[in-house]
Amino acid sequence: MERALVALLPMKGHSERIPDKNLRPIAGKPLCFWVLETLQQVPEITQVAINTDSQEIARRCSEYFDVSIHERPEAICGDQVSMNRIIEHDLSLLNGRDCFIQTHATNPLVTPSTLREALALYTNSLDRYDSVFSVTRYQSRFYDASGNPINHAPDELIRTQDLPPVYEENSCFYIFSRSGFGKVGRRIGTLPTMFEINPLEAIDIDDEGDWILAEGILERRLSSHAENSD
């Protein structure tokens, strides 16, 4: 029996570094529309729930997409609120739903095929893992804030491709169950597994530099799609 899968998409109206980021146009449409369109193309997802403190975000998204709106209570509004508290609020409104994928509007480059592959990994590995989260792989020389090497020995200048890889939690998506979240109060459980994605899909828009890079890739995708359609 297949589980009903809900996509959780948190979006706040305020953005510190990029004003009105979630509704700001990028490559021809509001930023949040990109991930919403991606989620629409994943047949395993039966519902999309937007948790927001913005009436404008709620209005615009509801006008163009089939979504559920979770109005964010004042107690969990603000820039310093843990995402796990917001997820906890979402789950309290989604009785009867057990399986979730959480993503962000600031990850417009992740593709439907990547999400489907990650969901298949989760579904087929429930006997081993309780959650899946996306990562970006790096094979470079890293140092801590004091200048100490993290993953290499300076006196052994081996090729970067031979270094042990380091994985960054890129926040593109998290897949978990209600029971798993309930045990530890977080989206990454006690038996998680990582899902590596292409660095170009993993771009998270946090500042104007990220915005410029993401927009260039989106526009190139649109151009390539138009050429292939001719």
CATH number, residue 180: 3.90.550.10
pLDDT band at 230 (very low <50, low <70, confident <90, very high): low
Residues near 220 by Cβ (< 8 Å), separated by ≥ 6?
A: none
| Helical ranges in 125-176 per DSSP H | none
Query: How many domains does the structure of the chain reveal?
Result: 1
The average pLDDT across 107-127 equals 97
Least confident of 115-124, 160-169, 220-229: 220-229
Residues near 143 by Cβ (< 8 Å), separated by ≥ 6?
A: 149, 150
Residue 48 lies in a domain: yes
Residue 70 lies in a domain: yes
Residue 207 lies in a domain: yes
What is the percentage of the chain residues whose pLDDT exceeds 70? 98
| More reliable by pLDDT, 80 or 90 | 90
* Mean predicted lDDT score pLDDT of the chain: 94
Element (H, E) at 77: none
Supply the range of the domain harboring residue 205. Answer: 5-134+167-229
Residue 150 lies in a domain: no
Using DSSP bridges, classify how beta strands 192-196 and 166-177 pair: parallel, antiparallel or unpaired.
unpaired
Residue 144 lies in a domain: no
The beta-carbon contacts of 136-141 under 8 Å, at least 24 apart in sequence, are 136/167, 136/168, 136/170, 136/196, 136/197, 136/199, 136/202, 137/165, 137/166, 137/167, 137/196, 138/165, 138/166, 138/167, 138/168, 139/163, 139/164, 139/165, 139/166, 140/166
Residue 58 lies in a domain: yes
Residue 159 lies in a domain: no
Element (H, E) at 127: none
Residue 60 lies in a domain: yes
pLDDT band at 225 (very low <50, low <70, confident <90, very high): confident
| Helical ranges in the chain per DSSP H | 31-40, 55-64, 83-92, 112-124, 178-184, 208-229
Give the Cβ contact number of residue 10 at 10 Å: 23
Using CA atoms, how far apart are residues 69 and 198, in angstroms rounded to an integer?
31
Strand partners, 8: 49, 102
